[in-house]
Chains A and B, each alone.
Chain A
Amino acid sequence: MTGTHEADRTENTFDELDTVDVASKTPDEPQPYAELGLRDDEYAKIRDILGRRPTGSELAMYSIMWSEHCSYKSSKVHLKKFSEKNPRTDRMLAGIGENAGVVQITDDLAVTFKVESHNHPSYVEPHQGAATGVGGIVRDILAMGARPVAVMDALRFGDAEHPDTKRVLPGVVSGISFYGNCLGLPNIGGEVVFDPSYQGNPLVNALSVGVLPVSRLQNKNASGLGNVVVLLGQKTGKDGIGGVSVLASATFEDGDTDNRPSVQVGDPFVEKLLIESCLEMYDAELVVGIQDLGGAGLTCALSETAAAAGMGMYVDLDRVPLREASMEAHEVLASESQERMLLIVSPEKVDDVLAVAAKWGVLATAIGQVTDTGRLIINWHGQTVVDCPPGSLADDGPVYNRPMKEPNDRALIAADRAETLPRPSTDDELRATVLRMAGSPNLADKTWITEQYDNMVGGNTALSMPDDAGVLRLDNSGTVGSGPIGIALSTDGNGRFARLDPYTGAQLALAEAYRNVAVTGATPIAASDCLNFGSPEDPHVMWQFAQAVEGLAEGCAQLNIPITGGNVSFYNQTGMTAIHPTPIVAVLGVMDDVRRRVPMGFTNDGDVIVLLGETYAELSGSEWAWSQHGHLGGIPPAVDLAGEQALAAVMKRAAEVEHVSAAHDLSDGGLAQALVESVLRHKVGARIKLPDHADPFVWLFAESTARALVCIPRGHEKAFGALCEEHDVPWTPLGIVDSSAGGIEVVDHFAISTGELAEASEGTLPGLFG
């Protein structure tokens, strides 16, 4: 803000509050709407809705709620495709538009999960940005009535060698570690990718998953005339003001660390208390409606709850407990202070709510009530500073059909194929390539990061990183049936593929997440997404976005799994340079008996190693092309969703009857990297013999989809082969697990010892960040 505005605000505070009355009488008062991110026509629309100029508080509220982050104004027209194409299923208890989608698992039990971005704050202040990203998504899950049971994170950083990456990565990891560990949520998986396109715009996408009895499902409706509006949790402070409008809805330019005060500060201990007190209130049926306070704070929670119920609301803003007494009304309304929930409670249950809060030492304050006026009326110092229809804030934001344009360089990029790059021509070169790639930052062992996360708290983690998917036993503190049902979750995304072709790239992300869940033996049942893109004002970015949404929606329809909700993060761009389009897809799966889950890694001598699926000479966009040639061009690998479904069917059945002892999906780095990771998992080696007709380079490094590496216990080979044939899944025996091999031996070509592999793979991240 300029000095002039500072002076104006001071004047307003001490001389005259900008009330509804004042606004009516001073229609020509100039207002800083442009600085707050509103366009001329948007400001005019606000004046039209109100029949006068907005007060300072109202202007702040509209600017936030109509920001890109809150209103989805650029993405809305495209996101409709998800609802239109979603396969019909009886499992969906809550879907797109809710705080998080809810999927029924058994008669009594449901699971809710969602991914959300906290990209911009994590660049400005990595530790708190990432920490509060975890806190925010956990409250979304809590608001649905669920006990949060795990978190995951999909991270993208700039070049691993870049000095700023040494600032951002350790901060992001420590923030996730700090918040998630203190909260008692196991971190069960995720991904880390380095690419220069994320240098000024790292991505921090956090996922949380929760479990609830079906009967405990909550909603955000402020229904019931006379019901009391209760604010639960932290005091409201000046932190995070403008988080969604300033940080998340504009591109970064120079001097961006000035935005640091817009980043929220997290207190996981209070979030833990919030979780326990909310769950206790749900179980005692004390709550009519509930909404978390995240982006846009009270503004969003008040307007959305009232709008959802079609009711009015009166709020006495002076009752909001403040951390900082000098705060003004618009700051109280815009603050994104963390660890707060808004409850709608019937009057006779208010005392019980306050008692539960007191038990857990959480602040709870009645700040208003539900009315039938159809207006959101907010008083401050005894005067009305807000009087507007809540739906105009929550639902009637601008919707843009922004111009889209296919990038001009598409044909050139497609023609620049990685398949024509020089390849390793001797066995020694093949061997050296495997080792170099195993030690490259994107493929190297991620223990330096993941060992900072508690993956076992709660005692239900059956698989976690570096396994392909996180797998949890559903054991909701005894409220669940006896069966050890399991759920599996994976997040995936490949920005390089999406850069080459956003439609295909989005489907490849979906296919990989689906496959990662499937190889554990789980049946994929639902998906969620976090769509990270550059500026929607750039027609090329908008085209990428539309393509990715189309691809994802179509892919989900073909795989017969619904999108249950998601998140869009635009403006991930510095100046004119946007990140690779990066749709991150999370897939949820279920398994009847979690004890049959299939882990990753070679363990048992004599197990037969089998490759499922077909390998083609698909190298464009691959990790090989990028890490060995710095090349990105061509056409990404072909999507084969029918093949993925067949693979999933084989894995589900094979897991049930224990035909398979271990499995690993093939993705980044191809077969070579899958072998490296399978050997390093338990330091047990393998002898591999590629088929006679195989081009060893293509077989080792191609990234064809719908493939997995599986271990078949001796005696099960025939039955497993029959199962593959039944489902039309190509299968190729490749060798055996053999601890006497001392590493990977590719017969007739090369051998690499476990020690050499470990040194290459496990030394990279500690070397860069330790």
Chain B
Amino acid sequence: MTARIGVVTFPGSLDDRDAQRAIRLAGAQPVALWHGETALRGVDAVILPGGFSYGDYLRGGAIARFAPVMETLVDAAKGGLPVLGICNGFQILCESHLLPGALTRNAHLHFRRRSQRLRVENTTSAFTGHFDAGQEIVIPVKNGEGRFVADERTLDELEGEGRVVVRYVDGNPSGAMRDIAGISNAAGNVVGMMPHPEHAVEALTGPSVDGLGLFTSVIAHLGRTAVGAGSSQT
């Protein structure tokens, strides 16, 4: 059965249509989820896309964590539902305490967009099974508040438990601590990353098609773990 992957649209989501396209290209069925509703519509996994959820003049994701959809999503994620937060989605996951640390203003104080080389450090998360350990990929990064920070103990813990999923190589675009581009929770089903895999899925528009691997990985992961529709629903 085709996996059904939800994409949450907040009023200020911008890359939601891109995430839906990536899901389609990876062979799954995208399902639109709305920030104002708690229903997860029986999806097998969820993407929190990039953008500026509620304008984010306060702090990226600070208001979105209180959205009705997050009420159910937080519980479902704790129950094992695969969730990928991209950019603003990563910020929301941190604000929701599904992931540790925080994303702050880039050290150079500018919005920065570039094609970024990354190293895949963890291939056991729900979204990285299709990569080889240490594989280098090119995925665009674009943000103004993308600098991952956490206290030393948390950073050591993330490193020690292999929860740094992707790391910047050939330059750190934001000043993120320990070059961290993305992390996972302890169970590996919740992943947050600043780079945008949904922008690297077609030769026509992306610097590579490396991003597709995140989406095919979760589809394969769903096949293996047979997380059925409704198993993580309220």
Q: Provide the residues of chain B in CB contact with A458, threshold 8 Å.
A: 17-18
Q: Is A53 an interface residue (CB 8 A)?
A: no
Task: For chain B, residues 7 to 45, give those with C-beta under 8 angstroms from any C-beta of chain A.
Answer: 11-12, 14-15, 17-18, 21
In Å, the complex CA distance between A181 and B52 comes to 9
**CB <8 Å contact, A267 and B55:** yes
**CB <8 Å contact, A456 and B57:** no
Q: Is A451 an interface residue (CB 8 A)?
A: yes
Q: Shortest Cβ distance from B64 into chain A, in angstroms?
A: 12
**CB <8 Å contact, A454 and B113:** yes
> Which of B12, B114, B198 is the one whose CB lies under 8 Å from A459?
B198
Known: A177-B111, A184-B51, A269-B12. A456 touches B199 (CB 8 A): yes
Q: Provide the residues of chain B in CB contact with A452, threshold 8 Å.
A: 110-113
Q: Shortest Cβ distance from B123 into chain A, in angstroms?
A: 26
Task: For chain A, residues 255 to 288, give those with C-beta under 8 angstroms from any C-beta of chain B.
Answer: 267-270, 272-273, 276
In Å, the complex CA distance between A453 and B110 comes to 10
0 or 1 for each of B183-201: is its CB under 8 Å from A? (1 = yes):
0000000000000101101
Q: Provide the residues of chain A in CB contact with B52, threshold 8 Å.
A: 182, 268-269, 272
Task: For chain A, residues 164 to 208, give those with C-beta under 8 angstroms from any C-beta of chain B.
Answer: 174, 177-178, 181-184
**CB <8 Å contact, A477 and B17:** yes
Q: Provide the residues of chain B in CB contact with A456, threshold 8 Å.
A: 113, 140, 142, 196, 199, 205-206
**CB <8 Å contact, B204 and A361:** no
Task: For chain A, residues 412 to 456, give those with C-beta under 8 angstroms from any C-beta of chain B.
Answer: 451-456
**CB <8 Å contact, A457 and B15:** yes
- Give how many A-B residue pairs fall within 8 Å (CB-CB): 81
Q: Count A interface residues, CB 8 Å.
A: 33
In Å, the complex CA distance between A177 and B109 comes to 13
Q: Shortest Cβ distance from B68 into chain A, in angstroms?
A: 13
**CB <8 Å contact, B57 and A181:** no
0 or 1 for each of B126-154: is its CB under 8 Å from A? (1 = yes):
00000000000000101010000000000
Most chain A beta carbons < 10 A, residue from B57, B111, B114: B111
In Å, the complex CA distance between A484 and B196 comes to 23
Q: Count B interface residues, CB 8 Å.
A: 30
Q: Is A462 an interface residue (CB 8 A)?
A: yes
Q: Provide the residues of chain A in CB contact with B196, threshold 8 Å.
A: 456
Q: Provide the residues of chain A in CB contact with B50, threshold 8 Å.
A: 457
**CB <8 Å contact, A457 and B18:** yes
Q: Is A616 an interface residue (CB 8 A)?
A: no
Q: Provide the residues of chain A in CB contact with B198, threshold 8 Å.
A: 459
**CB <8 Å contact, A459 and B18:** yes
In Å, the complex CA distance between A595 and B17 comes to 20
Q: Provide the residues of chain B in CB contact with A595, threshold 8 Å.
A: 204
**CB <8 Å contact, B204 and A182:** no
> Which of A182, A451, A473 is the one whose CB lies under 8 Å from B12?
A182
**Chain B residue with minimal CB distance to A477?**
B17
**Chain A residue with minimal CB distance to B115?**
A456
Q: Shortest Cβ distance from B66 into chain A, in angstroms?
A: 14
Q: Provide the residues of chain A in CB contact with B11, threshold 8 Å.
A: 269, 272-273, 276, 360-361
Known: A273-B11, A462-B204, A462-B205. A455 touches B113 (CB 8 A): yes
Q: Is A86 an interface residue (CB 8 A)?
A: no
Most chain A beta carbons < 10 A, residue from B14, B142, B144, B205: B205
0 or 1 for each of A594-606: is its CB under 8 Å from B? (1 = yes):
1100000000000
Task: For chain B, residues 204 to 234, give those with C-beta under 8 angstroms from any C-beta of chain A.
Answer: 204-206
**CB <8 Å contact, A459 and B113:** no
Q: Is A369 an interface residue (CB 8 A)?
A: no
In Å, the complex CA distance between A181 and B11 comes to 15
Most chain B beta carbons < 10 A, residue from A184, A276, A453, A462: A184
Task: For chain A, residues 708 to 764, give those with C-beta under 8 angstroms from any C-beta of chain B.
Answer: none
Q: Provide the residues of chain B in CB contact with A451, threshold 8 Å.
A: 112-114
In Å, the complex CA distance between A8 and B56 comes to 43
Q: Provide the residues of chain B in CB contact with A270, threshold 8 Å.
A: 55
**Chain A residue with minimal CB distance to B200?**
A456
Q: Shortest Cβ distance from B7 into chain A, in angstroms?
A: 13
Q: Shortest Cβ distance from B18 into chain A, in angstroms?
A: 4
Known: A184-B14, A477-B17. A453 touches B113 (CB 8 A): yes
Task: For chain B, residues 48 to 68, give those with C-beta under 8 angstroms from any C-beta of chain A.
Answer: 50-52, 54-57
Q: Provide the residues of chain B in CB contact with A182, threshold 8 Å.
A: 12, 52, 55
Q: Is A83 an interface residue (CB 8 A)?
A: no
**CB <8 Å contact, A272 and B112:** no
**CB <8 Å contact, A460 and B110:** no
Most chain A beta carbons < 10 A, residue from B17, B202, B206: B17
Known: A182-B55, A276-B11, A477-B17. A461 touches B114 (CB 8 A): no
Q: Shortest Cβ distance from A658 into chain B, in angstroms?
A: 15
Task: For chain A, residues 458 to 517, give those with C-beta under 8 angstroms from any C-beta of chain B.
Answer: 458-462, 473, 477, 484
Q: Provide the residues of chain A in CB contact with B205, threshold 8 Å.
A: 456, 459-462, 473
In Å, the complex CA distance between A181 and B205 comes to 18
In Å, the complex CA distance between A451 and B112 comes to 5
In Å, the complex CA distance between A52 and B39 comes to 63
Q: Provide the residues of chain B in CB contact with A473, threshold 8 Å.
A: 204-205
**CB <8 Å contact, B55 and A594:** no
In Å, the complex CA distance between A690 and B114 comes to 36
Most chain A beta carbons < 10 A, residue from B110, B113, B114, B196: B113
In Å, the complex CA distance between A219 and B54 comes to 31
Q: Shortest Cβ distance from B211 into chain A, in angstroms?
A: 11
Task: For chain A, residues 263 to 320, give those with C-beta under 8 angstroms from any C-beta of chain B.
Answer: 267-270, 272-273, 276
In Å, the complex CA distance between A361 and B67 comes to 14
Q: Provide the residues of chain B in CB contact with A268, threshold 8 Å.
A: 52, 55
User: Interface on B for A, CB 8 Å cutoff?
Assistant: 11-12, 14-15, 17-18, 21, 50-52, 54-57, 110-114, 140, 142, 144, 196, 198-199, 201-202, 204-206
5 extra A-B contacts, CB within 8 A, seeds A184-B14, A269-B55: A268-B55, A272-B12, A272-B52, A452-B113, A461-B205
Ordered by A's residue number, 28 sampled pairs between the chains whose C-beta atoms are within 8 Å are A174-B110, A178-B111, A181-B144, A182-B12, A184-B15, A268-B52, A268-B55, A269-B11, A272-B14, A273-B12, A276-B11, A453-B111, A453-B113, A454-B113, A455-B113, A456-B113, A456-B140, A456-B196, A456-B205, A457-B15, A458-B17, A459-B21, A459-B201, A462-B204, A462-B205, A473-B205, A484-B204, A594-B204
Task: Sort A-B residue pairs by CB-CB distance and give the 10 closest, nearest first.
Answer: A269-B55, A184-B14, A459-B18, A456-B199, A452-B111, A182-B52, A177-B111, A454-B142, A451-B113, A269-B12
